Amino acid sequence: MGKVFITETVLRDSHQSLAATRMTTEEMLPILDAMDKVGYYSLEAWGGATFDSCLRFLNEDPWERLRTIRSHVKNTKLQMLFRGQNILGYRHYADDVVAYFVQKSIANGIDIIRIFDALNDARNLETAINATIKEGGHVQAAISYTTSPVHDNAFFANYARQLIEMGANSICIKDMAGLLKPFDAYQLVKAIKEVIPKDANGTPADIKIQLHTHYTSGLG
């Protein structure tokens, strides 16, 4: 059995989902050093709606939040959620803006950028993926999981293949609506593993698959 890696989401997605991203940086500070010693693979600490909420509701500088977290988290990777061509906003932005935002995110402390597109359109991930590679960051390309007559395991496996060919270092199954049932998860992970490239000896590339799910429906 391989080693299981755990990402702690309390600094970003947990309070985004439960409290509309209203946790302040000051409320995070007392636990950061302790969290850094737990042994998590990564802490999801930035991105998503945190940037918007810092500016709109909390009167905080989101960049200062990132730098503050980084100053306390010395041993654990920091990751962020990145909305592809939308960056952290609600519309598409120009390629140079996307690339510059990626550059500054990594320069201010981000190690892993989880990049997704709500419609699973690889074209909307391309600029962010290329920018992350250029800056030496870890590209975690995400599949937005859903169910429909066309969204089957073959569809998602093919999309994962596309993302790997584009340069993804890892693949995230992003079950944002809490729809992924346990046995379906097993089958989906298996299907994605089958498209991971292998060398001449049949050894698969070191591309990890991460599962991110929500408890919305009680399946999480």
Give residue-wise pLDDT tens across range 2-29. 789 999 999 999 999 999 999 999 999 9
Q: Which pLDDT score, from 0 to 100, does residue 215 have?
A: 83
Residue written as tokens 């989101």? 62
Give which of 173, 42, 215 is closest to 113, Cα–Cα: 42
| pLDDT 10s digits, 164-191 | 999 999 999 999 999 999 999 999 999 9
More confident residue, 218 or 51: 51
Question: Which stretches does DSSP call E strand in 19-73?
Answer: 42-47
Question: Looking at the whole model, is its pTM more than 0.85?
Answer: yes
Name the 3-class secondary structure at 6. Answer: coil
Both tokens assigned to 78: 């920091």
* Angle 161-167-169 from CA coordinates, rounded to 5°: 90
- The residue-averaged pLDDT of 127-154 equals 97
pLDDT in tens, 119-132: 999 999 999 999 99
The single-letter code of the amino acid at 85 is Q
pLDDT at residue 86 above 80?
Answer: yes
Portion of the chain with pLDDT greater than 90, in percent: 95
> Quick one: CATH architecture of 7-213?
Alpha-Beta Barrel (3.20)
> Which pLDDT band holds residue 99 (cuts at 50, 70, 90)?
very high
Q: Which two structure tokens, joined as six digits, stand for 169?
A: 């270092």
Residue labelled with tokens 């998860």: 185
Cα–Cα dist 85/99, whole Å: 10
